Every structure is written in C-alpha cells, then in structure tokens.
DNA sequence: AGTTTGACAGTAT
DNA sequence: GATACTGCCAAAC
C-alpha cells in the first residue's frame, strides 16, 4: 500500500470518533512513522476543506489546540470540541487523558498500518 | 539546487 | 523539571 502520506493522514483523521481527540504523534505512529508528527501537521494544513475532516479533533501531545489558528477563528476549534462533550483543562487545552483516542487501537484501520514485518 | 519552514515529539542536557 | 537539540519528509522560496 503506497498511498501519499497525506492521504493516509486524511483517512485516519476522518476516522476519529465523535467526541474524541487524538494527537499528531499517535497518527504518525499509526502510519508507521513515529517521528514524522510534523508531517501530519503539514498534511492537515494542506488538507482540502471538501473532505470535511474533523481536524479539530487533532491536538498536540499536550492536548493543546495547536491548530486552532487555522480554523478561521481560534475559538472555533474549542467550541466544536465542547459541543462534542470534550472537556477542557484550559481555554486551549483539552482533557487529553480522558478523551484521547489512539488510531493504533482501532482494528478497522488495519489497512492503513505500515508494520515492517 | 540549497535553505527554510511546518497544526510535532522524543531524547538529551 | 525546564530548555535545547535533533529527527522526520514534503513544499514553498
């Protein structure tokens, strides 16, 4: 399976359950490149709006809404998450421990995994 | 064609 | 424990 990195990022992102969040690192790890978290950010940045990706559910390892600035208005991202029931420990920080979702734990994403034998 | 930059993360100091 | 440095890979300059 040799799809573009970005495409795989979109697929994983689209798979984030409602009311849950995940991190750049976890997405990267799920794709087989634990050290390419930056690429996830790069991919999301250039992600077409047509895909309707729930990118607001992607936060950094601290649970901080690092991408809030890319949502038109910074608070838009936080509002969306609150509406999904996600609680915040700070104005820009979600309760990651309580709502984090690890793509690698979801069996339905097996096809995306890139485990090197 | 070399350099810089990114919605980051892990390790080292 | 907080800061600094490095890795990652593609795109824009």
Count Cα atoms within 13 angstroms, Cβ side, for A76. Answer: 11
Low-confidence ranges of chain A (pLDDT < 50): 1-2, 114-117
CA of A87 to C1' of B5 (A): 32
Sign of CA dihedral A49, A51, A57, A59: negative
Residue A117 lies in a domain: no
Count of domains observed in chain A: 1
Residue A31 lies in a domain: yes
Determine contact, residues A56/A84, Cβ cutoff 8 Å: no
Residue with token string 């689209």: A14
The bases of strand C with some atom under 7 A from any protein CB are 7-12
Residue A114 lies in a domain: no
Structure confidence by residue, pLDDT tens digits, A66-84: 999 888 888 999 999 999 9
Range of the domain at A22: 3-109
Nucleotide nearest to A42 (CA to C1'): B6
Residue A77 lies in a domain: yes
Residue A53 lies in a domain: yes
CATH for A55:
1.10.10.10
- To the question of pTM greater than 0.85 for the whole model, the response is yes
CA of A11 to C1' of B8 (A): 19
């Amino acid at each position: 399976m040799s799809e573009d990195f970005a495409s795989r990022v979109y697929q994983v992102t689209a798979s984030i359950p409602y009311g849950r969040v995940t991190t750049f690192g976890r997405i990267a790890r799920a794709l087989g490149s634990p050290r390419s978290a930056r690429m996830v950010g790069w991919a999301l940045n250039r992600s077409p709006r047509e895909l309707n990706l729930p990118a607001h559910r992607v936060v950094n390892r601290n649970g901080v809404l690092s991408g809030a600035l890319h949502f038109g208005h910074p608070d838009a991202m936080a509002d969306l998450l609150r509406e999904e029931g996600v609680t915040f420990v700070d104005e820009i920080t979600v309760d990651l421990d309580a709502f984090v979702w690890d793509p690698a734990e979801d069996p339905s994403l097996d096809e995306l995994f890139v485990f090197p034998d």
